[in-house]
Structure 1
């Protein structure tokens, strides 16, 4: 298999509902999200996928849907309160840890936005801070 990787930076807020420490509070991060696409062969130009396609399909999606937004789990009581007073609150179907975000991007978003291409999103690495990152890989 051949891989192509591109990263994108976004800033967004979240809180980890049920967290035992500071992350139970509303806060934010400057995330760096690495998208790794994999294909069985190269195209006629010798590429797995054009880096611009990764930008258009994956980077632009997180830019449009998560950047400068507040991600809250649908089951978080803060969501029910904040959704009515702030349009930047985004309902997500998972507790918004970096691990859950990475897994959702690979298993839900990737297959949806890459449908019809000859590649699949096989890995997402999210740097939550310069010292802390997670990776979800198929």
Structure 2
């Protein structure tokens, strides 16, 4: 039986600010994120299964990632819940903006860990999350690999 990795790519727009940072990213700004989600498993071999030959239906993977990540983070502004930007976050929320307060500094590194946890919880037991790649800019990205985190 073959083990196969498949990857689905997503994109979303998110704003954030890095509390306490000593550079420009301490200011509220946004990114056009690209998220690549790679899962690993064996293709279905049951000829009576409508998903014969698939590790996981790309549509099923899309549903999980869309619900857990894209729908939550797209066009949202993410702040560390301990930030002094809390008043700004409250003001934005009161004006109908989608604000997410997280318990971490919203860097690509921390976001990719958060995303891995969320996606893993939703995958079928026979499918494993292999890796994530969260691209923040054209030349900068963070990667998460299951093999590094077991």
**TM-score, scaled relative to structure 2:** 0.82
Whether 1:65 and 2:72 are equivalent positions in the alignment is yes
Do the aligned partners of 1:10 and 1:62 also contact (CA within 8 Å) in 2?
no
Structure 1 segments of 4+ aligned residues over 4 angstroms from their partners? none
1:12-31 matches, cutoff 5 A: 12-31=14-33
Q: Distance in 1 between matches of 2:29 and 2:90?
A: 19
Unaligned runs of 5+ in 2: 46-51
**Which residue number in structure 2 is paired with residue 86 of structure 1?**
92
**TM-score, scaled relative to structure 1:** 0.89
Aligned residue pair count: 134
Q: State the shift of 1:117 in Å.
A: 4.3
Q: State the shift of 1:59 in Å.
A: 2.9
Unaligned runs of 5+ in 1: none
**What secondary structure does 1:128 align onto?**
strand
**Which residue number in structure 2 is paired with residue 75 of structure 1?**
82
Q: Distance in 1 between matches of 2:130 and 2:119?
A: 8
What is the CA RMSD across the aligned residues, in angstroms? 1.4
